[in-house]
Chain A
Amino acid sequence: AQSVTQPDIHITVSEGASLELRCNYSYGATPYLFWYVQSPGQGLQLLLKYFSGDTLVQGIKGFEAEFKRSQSSFNLRKPSVHWSDAAEYFCAVGGTSYGKLTFGQGTILTVHP
Protein backbone atom coordinates (compact mmCIF):
# COMPACT_ATOMS: atom_id res chain seq x y z
CA ALA A 1 0.00 0.00 0.00
CA GLN A 2 1.17 3.49 -0.70
CA SER A 3 1.75 5.97 2.11
CA VAL A 4 3.23 9.41 2.72
CA THR A 5 4.82 10.82 5.85
CA GLN A 6 5.45 14.47 6.50
CA PRO A 7 7.44 14.43 9.74
CA ASP A 8 6.99 18.11 10.55
CA ILE A 9 3.51 19.17 11.59
CA HIS A 10 4.43 22.84 12.01
CA ILE A 11 7.47 24.83 10.85
CA THR A 12 8.24 28.45 11.62
CA VAL A 13 10.77 30.45 9.61
CA SER A 14 11.71 34.10 9.30
CA GLU A 15 10.98 35.94 6.10
CA GLY A 16 13.96 35.68 3.78
CA ALA A 17 15.22 32.45 5.32
CA SER A 18 15.52 29.22 3.38
CA LEU A 19 12.93 26.47 3.71
CA GLU A 20 12.90 22.72 3.43
CA LEU A 21 9.78 20.64 4.02
CA ARG A 22 10.28 16.92 4.32
CA CYS A 23 8.30 14.19 2.63
CA ASN A 24 8.89 10.44 2.74
CA TYR A 25 6.82 8.00 0.76
CA SER A 26 6.23 4.30 0.44
CA TYR A 27 5.29 2.94 -2.95
CA GLY A 28 5.94 -0.34 -4.71
CA ALA A 29 6.89 1.03 -8.11
CA THR A 30 8.07 4.32 -9.56
CA PRO A 31 5.82 6.88 -7.92
CA TYR A 32 4.22 10.01 -9.19
CA LEU A 33 4.89 12.69 -6.58
CA PHE A 34 3.24 16.02 -5.93
CA TRP A 35 3.39 19.00 -3.64
CA TYR A 36 0.22 21.00 -3.08
CA VAL A 37 -0.29 24.21 -1.11
CA GLN A 38 -3.44 25.24 0.71
CA SER A 39 -4.05 28.75 1.96
CA PRO A 40 -6.57 29.14 4.80
CA GLY A 41 -10.13 28.50 3.62
CA GLN A 42 -8.98 27.66 0.10
CA GLY A 43 -8.66 24.61 -2.06
CA LEU A 44 -5.41 22.90 -2.98
CA GLN A 45 -3.08 24.36 -5.58
CA LEU A 46 -0.43 22.28 -7.32
CA LEU A 47 3.10 23.56 -6.66
CA LEU A 48 5.05 20.96 -8.60
CA LYS A 49 5.09 17.35 -9.71
CA TYR A 50 7.50 14.55 -10.49
CA PHE A 51 6.66 11.85 -13.00
CA SER A 52 10.05 10.81 -14.40
CA GLY A 53 13.32 12.20 -15.71
CA ASP A 54 15.26 14.94 -13.97
CA THR A 55 15.06 14.37 -10.23
CA LEU A 56 15.14 18.09 -9.45
CA VAL A 57 11.85 19.66 -10.42
CA GLN A 58 10.92 23.30 -10.48
CA GLY A 59 7.51 24.58 -9.56
CA ILE A 60 5.56 27.76 -9.20
CA LYS A 61 6.31 30.55 -6.72
CA GLY A 62 10.04 29.73 -6.66
CA PHE A 63 9.67 26.26 -5.13
CA GLU A 64 11.65 23.21 -6.12
CA ALA A 65 11.75 19.59 -4.98
CA GLU A 66 14.22 16.77 -5.33
CA PHE A 67 13.27 13.14 -5.81
CA LYS A 68 15.67 10.76 -4.06
CA ARG A 69 14.76 7.18 -4.77
CA SER A 70 17.38 5.73 -2.38
CA GLN A 71 15.86 7.70 0.49
CA SER A 72 12.21 7.48 -0.65
CA SER A 73 12.04 11.23 -0.24
CA PHE A 74 10.66 14.19 -2.13
CA ASN A 75 11.58 17.25 -0.08
CA LEU A 76 10.31 20.71 -0.99
CA ARG A 77 12.69 23.68 -0.88
CA LYS A 78 12.68 27.40 -1.34
CA PRO A 79 15.81 29.56 -1.00
CA SER A 80 14.06 32.65 0.40
CA VAL A 81 10.63 32.55 1.99
CA HIS A 82 8.10 35.34 1.60
CA TRP A 83 5.34 36.16 4.09
CA SER A 84 2.79 35.11 1.46
CA ASP A 85 4.17 31.54 1.58
CA ALA A 86 2.48 30.98 4.94
CA ALA A 87 0.08 28.11 4.30
CA GLU A 88 -0.29 24.37 4.71
CA TYR A 89 1.71 22.14 2.40
CA PHE A 90 0.79 18.63 1.38
CA CYS A 91 2.94 15.97 -0.22
CA ALA A 92 1.11 13.30 -2.21
CA VAL A 93 2.01 10.07 -3.99
CA GLY A 94 0.07 8.39 -6.75
CA GLY A 95 0.40 5.73 -9.34
CA THR A 96 -1.34 3.94 -12.11
CA SER A 97 -4.18 2.62 -9.95
CA TYR A 98 -6.80 5.01 -11.37
CA GLY A 99 -4.51 7.88 -10.42
CA LYS A 100 -5.56 7.79 -6.81
CA LEU A 101 -3.49 10.05 -4.59
CA THR A 102 -2.39 9.38 -1.03
CA PHE A 103 -1.68 12.52 0.96
CA GLY A 104 0.60 13.20 3.86
CA GLN A 105 -0.71 14.80 7.03
CA GLY A 106 0.39 18.26 5.95
CA THR A 107 2.94 20.76 7.26
CA ILE A 108 1.78 24.16 8.44
CA LEU A 109 4.27 26.91 7.58
CA THR A 110 4.36 30.09 9.63
CA VAL A 111 6.48 32.99 8.40
CA HIS A 112 7.72 35.61 10.87
CA PRO A 113 8.45 39.12 9.57
Chain B
Amino acid sequence: NAGVTQTPKFRILKIGQSMTLQCTQDMNHNYMYWYRQDPGMGLKLIYYSVGAGITDKGEVPNGYNVSRSTTEDFPLRLELAAPSQTSVYFCASRTDRSYEQYFGPGTRLTVT
Protein backbone atom coordinates (compact mmCIF):
# COMPACT_ATOMS: atom_id res chain seq x y z
CA ASN B 1 0.00 0.00 0.00
CA ALA B 2 1.91 3.05 -1.29
CA GLY B 3 -0.63 5.68 -0.18
CA VAL B 4 -0.40 8.92 -2.17
CA THR B 5 2.43 9.15 -4.68
CA GLN B 6 3.53 12.17 -6.68
CA THR B 7 5.83 12.55 -9.64
CA PRO B 8 8.18 14.18 -10.36
CA LYS B 9 9.84 15.14 -7.08
CA PHE B 10 11.63 18.11 -8.61
CA ARG B 11 11.23 20.04 -11.84
CA ILE B 12 12.60 23.21 -13.37
CA LEU B 13 10.49 24.87 -16.06
CA LYS B 14 11.11 27.83 -18.30
CA ILE B 15 8.51 30.57 -18.47
CA GLY B 16 5.75 29.62 -20.90
CA GLN B 17 6.38 25.87 -20.79
CA SER B 18 3.71 23.45 -19.70
CA MET B 19 3.77 20.34 -17.57
CA THR B 20 1.61 17.89 -15.69
CA LEU B 21 2.13 16.98 -12.07
CA GLN B 22 1.03 13.43 -11.43
CA CYS B 23 -0.81 12.22 -8.34
CA THR B 24 -1.95 8.67 -7.68
CA GLN B 25 -3.50 7.05 -4.64
CA ASP B 26 -4.15 3.38 -4.05
CA MET B 27 -6.55 3.71 -1.12
CA ASN B 28 -9.73 3.95 -3.23
CA HIS B 29 -10.43 7.44 -1.89
CA ASN B 30 -13.07 9.48 -3.67
CA TYR B 31 -11.85 12.84 -2.42
CA MET B 32 -8.60 14.27 -3.75
CA TYR B 33 -6.99 17.69 -3.39
CA TRP B 34 -4.17 19.77 -4.81
CA TYR B 35 -2.41 22.34 -2.63
CA ARG B 36 0.51 24.65 -3.14
CA GLN B 37 2.84 25.61 -0.31
CA ASP B 38 4.77 28.86 -0.24
CA PRO B 39 7.08 29.89 2.61
CA GLY B 40 5.21 31.50 5.48
CA MET B 41 1.87 31.07 3.71
CA GLY B 42 0.77 27.61 4.76
CA LEU B 43 -1.01 25.51 2.15
CA LYS B 44 -3.51 26.92 -0.31
CA LEU B 45 -6.10 24.76 -2.06
CA ILE B 46 -5.86 24.83 -5.87
CA TYR B 47 -8.45 22.27 -6.99
CA TYR B 48 -10.31 19.37 -5.51
CA SER B 49 -12.33 16.39 -6.68
CA VAL B 50 -15.11 14.45 -5.00
CA GLY B 51 -14.94 11.52 -7.38
CA ALA B 52 -14.12 10.45 -10.90
CA GLY B 53 -15.38 13.03 -13.38
CA ILE B 54 -16.10 15.70 -10.75
CA THR B 55 -13.71 18.55 -10.02
CA ASP B 56 -14.02 22.06 -8.65
CA LYS B 57 -11.91 25.13 -8.00
CA GLY B 58 -10.29 25.88 -4.72
CA GLU B 59 -8.82 29.08 -3.39
CA VAL B 60 -6.08 29.68 -6.00
CA PRO B 61 -7.03 27.94 -9.29
CA ASN B 62 -5.76 30.50 -11.81
CA GLY B 63 -3.11 29.08 -14.13
CA TYR B 64 -3.97 25.45 -13.37
CA ASN B 65 -6.26 22.77 -14.69
CA VAL B 66 -7.20 19.32 -13.45
CA SER B 67 -8.96 16.20 -14.62
CA ARG B 68 -10.19 13.11 -12.83
CA SER B 69 -10.87 10.24 -15.21
CA THR B 70 -10.23 7.51 -12.64
CA THR B 71 -10.54 7.19 -8.87
CA GLU B 72 -6.79 6.68 -8.53
CA ASP B 73 -5.37 9.58 -10.55
CA PHE B 74 -5.70 13.33 -10.18
CA PRO B 75 -3.19 15.14 -12.43
CA LEU B 76 -2.56 18.88 -12.19
CA ARG B 77 -1.78 20.72 -15.42
CA LEU B 78 0.18 23.96 -15.77
CA GLU B 79 -0.35 25.36 -19.25
CA LEU B 80 1.83 28.48 -19.41
CA ALA B 81 4.26 28.39 -16.53
CA ALA B 82 4.96 31.67 -14.76
CA PRO B 83 7.48 32.52 -12.00
CA SER B 84 4.55 32.95 -9.60
CA GLN B 85 3.95 29.22 -9.90
CA THR B 86 7.27 28.41 -8.29
CA SER B 87 6.16 26.45 -5.26
CA VAL B 88 5.90 23.06 -3.62
CA TYR B 89 2.80 21.17 -4.70
CA PHE B 90 1.07 18.60 -2.55
CA CYS B 91 -1.62 16.15 -3.46
CA ALA B 92 -3.88 14.69 -0.77
CA SER B 93 -6.79 12.29 -0.51
CA ARG B 94 -9.36 11.15 2.02
CA THR B 95 -12.17 8.69 2.50
CA ASP B 96 -15.84 9.60 2.34
CA ARG B 97 -16.26 9.08 6.07
CA SER B 98 -13.30 10.86 7.61
CA TYR B 99 -12.10 14.40 7.09
CA GLU B 100 -8.43 13.71 7.70
CA GLN B 101 -6.37 14.01 4.55
CA TYR B 102 -3.37 11.90 3.56
CA PHE B 103 -0.61 13.75 1.79
CA GLY B 104 1.87 12.80 -0.86
CA PRO B 105 5.58 13.71 -0.60
CA GLY B 106 5.25 16.79 -2.80
CA THR B 107 6.68 18.15 -6.05
CA ARG B 108 9.09 21.08 -5.89
CA LEU B 109 8.64 23.22 -9.01
CA THR B 110 10.81 26.13 -10.06
CA VAL B 111 9.86 28.38 -12.98
CA THR B 112 12.63 30.59 -14.35
- Give the bracket for the number of chain B residues in contact with chain A: 20 to 34
Which of A13-21, A67-75, A76-84, A96-104 forms contacts with chain B? A96-104
A contact residues around B35 at 8 Å (CB) = 103
Quick one: given A98-B48, A100-B58, are A43 and B103 in contact (CB under 8 Å)? yes
Taken together as a complex, chains A and B put the C-alpha atoms of A58 and B33 apart, in Å, by 26
Q: CB distance A101 to B101 under 8 Å?
A: yes
B contact residues around A99 at 8 Å (CB) = 31, 94, 99, 101
For the complex formed, measure the closest distance between the CB of B97 and the CB atoms of chain A, giving whole angstroms. 10
Taken together as a complex, chains A and B put the C-alpha atoms of A106 and B56 apart, in Å, by 26
Q: Please encode chain A, from 32 to 62, with 1 for each CB lying within 8 Å of some chain B CB and 0 for all others.
A: 1010100000111110010100000000000
Residues on B lying within 8 angstroms of A by beta carbon are: 4, 31, 33, 35, 40-45, 48, 50, 56, 58, 90, 92, 94, 99-106
Residues on A lying within 8 angstroms of B by beta carbon are: 4, 9, 32, 34, 36, 42-46, 49, 51, 90, 94, 98-106
